[in-house]
Structure formats: structure tokens, C-alpha cells
Structure 1
């Protein structure tokens, strides 16, 4: 039943005018009326950016294939996962040439991912049908995130990677004008999500619920100082041309890999509790201006 309502909600958002849709998106998450004239909450400022932040200029930074060029230039190819190819048509994918483990992603959007850990037991025909749906989706319409509008949907095939958890923890750094201010570690992404949040000095924010009151925390996940400092420096380099961006990383066998750049965190509908202590405080760092400050080629 939940999936039915979720589908109906997504389809409704697609056809609603942008401004009406973002009021609905914000209210669904925050249970408050959106204030665009004087936005004070984290989600309010993200909704403002959707309307006025010129997000359509960010396509090459959120396209999962094209962003690799930016990563190579700014921090180096060694921070990228290996890939087996990128395809415009599902029928062009020859599964017989792929290894036993691999990851299928749509180059556009969020959560469009299929993980194969054992090709012998992987339902290829089902995967083909799912990928065909990915290629037809106008992802930007769902949450009115215009950075995804001008991306050509393609299928990216990556090398399968996992860390000591058997999955991949996300290390997410929230950056403002090239300065990371806090970070969060996401565990159990595909099962029972856990989010632990820290200030940039590594102090654990024990009472912070980053993504809703029901978010679970572990109590603490330690990052050694050298790794934390490297993640901070990488975040600074990758975020310096943006007024606001979340920079995501993975760590596999003590090696850091780039994940993605996100400009409308949670589509602006995931409150950070307590609201007055964290959500409004984090929101202060988001400036109401365009997100792309300058093109990297012009530096």
C-alpha cells in the first residue's frame, strides 16, 4: 500500500507547477508552510535554491558519467571507481562480458541502482525492464530538481566494491563556498539506514537526527585523523566553485573513492532534528544566491 501511495505522490508532483510542487514537498517533510520570502530552515533554503539557484547549470556535475571529468581534473582519476562502460540502450549491454559482480546505475537521478553480487543468480531480464524504466524517466520533474533536467539518461556499469560492512558506507561532507562545515556517515544504505552526524572537527553530534526523528544512529563511527583530514581537503577542492554542495565519498580497503555531488540535499524535505538546534543552524550557512559560482575552466 505504501508503494502505491508513493507512486501516486510522485506522479502528482510531475504534473504540478514547480512552485506548487515545492510547497507540497516541503510541507510533507516539515509539516510547515514554506516561507520563500524569509527562509530560515534548511529545507526552506533548498526549496529557494530550486527556484532561484540556477540549478540547470549544474547538469555536468550530477551526471554520474560526466562528473568523472571534473573529478579527474580537480583531485585525480585515482579517486574514481573503475567502470565497464556507459550505454544509451539497454540492448547494447552484453552481460556475458561482465564479471561476476558489478553495479548498474542510471547516469541521471537518485536511487536508480542495481547491484549484482552473483551473475549466475542475477535476473537479467528483470534488470533490463527496470533499466528501460530508468531511461524513460524525467527525474527532475519528480522533486523539481532542475540540475537533472538536461542530462541524457544512460546506463553506467561500475566495478562492484564493498567495505568492511559488506556494503558501502557513505561519508557525506556538507560544504559552503568551498568550506565543509559538518559531515555525516550513512550506514546500511539498502537495509536499515543509520546516520551519524559530526561537526567538522569530528565531534559527534549525539542528539542530531539528520533526516527525520526516526533516523537511527550507532553511537559513533571513528574516522582516523589522517583519513578525516584527507576527506576534508578533497571536499574543499571539489566544492570551491559552488555556494552549497554535499560531497560524498566511500572508503574501501583504506582508500578513498568519490561518490557524488548533491546540490538539493534530500530534495529539501528531510528535516534535521532538533529543528531549532540543528536545522536552523545548518541553514545559516546556505546563502541565497546561485549555486555555481564559476566554471572550473575559468579558474
Structure 2
């Protein structure tokens, strides 16, 4: 006997994929509202935004696309200059190089383990745990596709669109089998207010919002 819930979920996914592009083209705000409702199960209020996550969506739609410094800080390569100028260059993961294409990477000169990231996107990465086992032809195709796509337009995060599409190579940090836990500290008017903790990167990834006192935080 067929499962009606399964059919309903498949139908929702089908229409979600079919309608995504036209909704983005007609109304970015409507797209973000639908996306927010789907992810958080809350209605998105923008006039004015109240919840922390609502304020992020307001910035995403109306502020960040016009703010050049935000684009510079979103770029995986350009942010390094910004951080160094502020006196925190020693906190950066060592960079192995920045390349215009996958073919430009000097593979034989690279260390056994490293990470490749597209500079103009989030999540378009390759974790090279053992370079001798990488299918370079396949990865070349994948990165060529990524470098020709406008991540900002696809995700309605327009501050990514001005960033030059390149590939940055960074040293592998942590042990060979697991990536370290990430701690993102959110600062408001110079004061740390909450934490965004990412565990299981590259495996079973999980995201947790905490207050600065390490208590659960519902944004």
C-alpha cells in the first residue's frame, strides 16, 4: 500500500524545484519568505524584523547587496586581506595559493592533505584527505561548473555576486580523519552576544546556536 505522506513530500519537492527559479526572478523577497518559513516554521517579519534570524534576512535582502565591504569579507580570498589589515593575520589558516582554474593548481607541489574552496561561494569545497586518491578529471569538471555559476544569484545572497570566482587552497587543520569544531562568534556593536557552533563538518554536520553563556539560543 502506498504512503500518502511520501507522495505528498515528493510533490512538494517537485514543485519546490520547478518554482524556485521563477519565484527568485519575480520576487526575491517572496522567495526568502518561503525559504524562511520552510526552514524555521515561522512567518518572516521584515517590517520591522524582530527575531535575530529575521534581521539576518533583512540584511541579506536590503543591506548587504549594496555594501562593498560585506562582499570583500564574504570572499574566501579577499577576506584574508581585510583580517590582516585589522591586525589578525596570525589567526588565518595558512594559504597555499589562489588559482583561476583547477588546472592551475600545482598538484605535485601540494601537501598530501589540503582543502580547496571556491572564493565566491559557501559550501563549494573539496576536502583533499589524500591527494593520491583524488579523481582529478572529475574534480576539474566540478570546479569548472562552480566557477561559471553565480552563487549569489542562486541563493539570493547577492553580496556574493561581485566576488571574483577563483579557487583558494588552504592547509588542512586538525587531525587527518576529522575537521575541527567551528565556533562563530556573533558580535553586535562591539559586544559578543551569541555563538554559532558547527560540528561534524564533512561528515554528519550539525549547527547549534548558543548564548555567550553557552545556553541554548532560539533565533
> Structure 1-normalised TM-score?
0.61
State the distance in 1 between where 2:138 and 2:130 align: 15
State the distance in 2 between where 1:164 and 1:96 align: 19
Choose the corresponding residue for 2:123, options 111, 121, 128: 111
Q: Deviations over 1:95-130 (max 9, x none)?
A: 122121111100011111101111111111111111
1:78 Cα deviation after fit: 1.4
Please tell me whether residue 100 in structure 1 is matched to residue 112 in structure 2.
yes
- The answer to whether the Cα contact below 8 Å between 1:90 and 1:155 also exists between their aligned partners in 2 is yes
Distance verdict in 2 for CA 1:51–1:185, change over 3 Å: closer
Distance verdict in 2 for CA 1:93–1:10, change over 3 Å: farther
Distance verdict in 2 for CA 1:109–1:62, change over 3 Å: same
- The answer to whether the Cα contact below 8 Å between 1:100 and 1:119 also exists between their aligned partners in 2 is yes
> Structure 2-normalised TM-score?
0.82
2:182 is matched with: 170
State the distance in 1 between where 2:176 and 2:137 align: 31
Choose the corresponding residue for 1:179, options 191, 210, 216: 191
Q: Deviations over 1:15-54 (max 9, x none)?
A: 4432222222222223333222232222322222123324
Distance verdict in 2 for CA 1:7–1:63, change over 3 Å: farther
State the distance in 2 between where 1:41 and 1:101 align: 41
1:179 Cα deviation after fit: 1.3
1:81 Cα deviation after fit: 1.5
Structure ranking higher in helix proportion: 2
Unaligned 5+ segments in structure 1 are: 209-271, 273-277, 280-299
Aligned alpha-carbon RMSD (Å) = 2.6
1:245 is matched with: none
Number of aligned positions between the proteins: 206
Q: Deviations over 1:205-236 (max 9, x none)?
A: 2xx3xxxxxxxxxxxxxxxxxxxxxxxxxxxx
- The answer to whether the Cα contact below 8 Å between 2:129 and 2:176 also exists between their aligned partners in 1 is no
Q: Deviations over 1:40-76 (max 9, x none)?
A: 2223222221233243321111111011111111133
1:144 Cα deviation after fit: 1.4
1:293 is matched with: none
Distance verdict in 2 for CA 1:204–1:180, change over 3 Å: closer
State the distance in 2 between where 1:130 and 1:46 align: 30
1:38 is matched with: 48
Distance verdict in 2 for CA 1:154–1:9, change over 3 Å: farther
Unaligned 5+ segments in structure 2 are: 1-8
